[in-house]
């Protein structure tokens, strides 16, 4: 009975460690939201269960390494409060492991999702452009959406600040890209553009620097998408 209680207690402690890491570590929450977004997109793109399991595995691998990195940082902070080269080496190595896993997971997710997502976005664009926008109620709904967005832009410009104004402008541009662009990759870029820019801006970086960093990532993804899509063209 005591062994059973110890087993239950160990599971409870592990659960508390995971929850505490999600609450205290910002990077863990970012990984969580991005992983949830990838899983939702994979379900929408109708991937096979094998592909979904692969995505789930790489997402969990990033979570596991983030937990290990948090444990390393806590142990180092408990051991010494002063700067030490070995303490820095341990923390940098843990952070490097998480970074490599995150980059590899992004590459795998993009490779798996690129073609199904492009097909889905193209089908949605064709349906929207042929069945929704030509109708009177479709044009009215589209006009109401843009009027609401411009009203939101005005309110944010008056009451909040430049950051929210930029985000609304980016959302307007991305909406135009998503609806009217005939290129599937630019439609996908219009969908993910506000999310990526918001992440960069929440990191406290200036807007211009965030755009330059986003431009480099956009060009790299564009080249990678061309290499992946080329066999299907």
Residue 218: CA count within 13 A, CB half-sphere? 18
Query: Whole-angstrom distance between the N-terminal and C-terminal Cα of the chain?
Result: 64
Which of 16, 66, 164, 213 is flagged as catalytic? 66
Q: Name which of 78, 4, 63, 61 is nearest 12 in CA terms.
A: 4
Q: Is 66 a catalytic residue?
A: yes
Query: For residues 28 and 66, is the Cβ–Cβ distance under 8 A?
Result: yes
Query: For residues 45 and 184, is the Cβ–Cβ distance under 8 A?
Result: no
Copy the structure tokens of residue 224. Answer: 């990678």
The DSSP secondary structure of 121-157, one letter per residue, reads: HHHHHHHIIIIITTSHHHHHHHHHHHHHHHHHHHHHH
Copy the structure tokens of residue 137. Answer: 């109620």
- Name the residues annotated as catalytic: 66
């Amino acid at each position: 009975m005591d062994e059973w209680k110890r087993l239950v207690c160990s599971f409870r402690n592990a659960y508390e460690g995971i929850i505490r890491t999600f609450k205290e570590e910002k990077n863990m929450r970012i990984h969580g939201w991005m992983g949830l977004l990838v899983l939702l997109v994979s379900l929408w793109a109708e991937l096979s269960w094998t592909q979904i399991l692969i995505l789930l595995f790489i997402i969990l691998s990033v979570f596991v390494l983030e937990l290990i990195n948090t444990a390393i940082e806590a142990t180092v902070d408990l051991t010494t409060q002063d700067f030490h080269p070995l303490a820095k080496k341990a923390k940098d190595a843990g952070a490097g492991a998480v970074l490599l896993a995150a980059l590899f997971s992004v590459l795998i997710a993009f490779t798996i999702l690129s073609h199904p997502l492009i097909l889905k976005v193209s089908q949605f664009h064709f349906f929207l452009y042929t069945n929704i926008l030509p109708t009177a109620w479709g044009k009215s709904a589209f006009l109401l959406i843009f009027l609401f967005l411009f009203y939101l832009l005005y309110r944010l410009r008056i009451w909040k600040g430049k950051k929210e104004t930029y985000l609304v402008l980016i959302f307007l541009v991305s909406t135009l890209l998503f609806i009217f662009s005939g290129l599937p990759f630019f439609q996908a870029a219009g969908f993910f553009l506000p999310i990526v820019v918001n992440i960069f801006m929440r990191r406290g970086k200036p807007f211009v620097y965030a755009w330059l960093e986003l431009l480099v990532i956009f060009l790299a993804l564009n080249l990678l998408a061309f290499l992946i899509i080329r066999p299907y063209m």
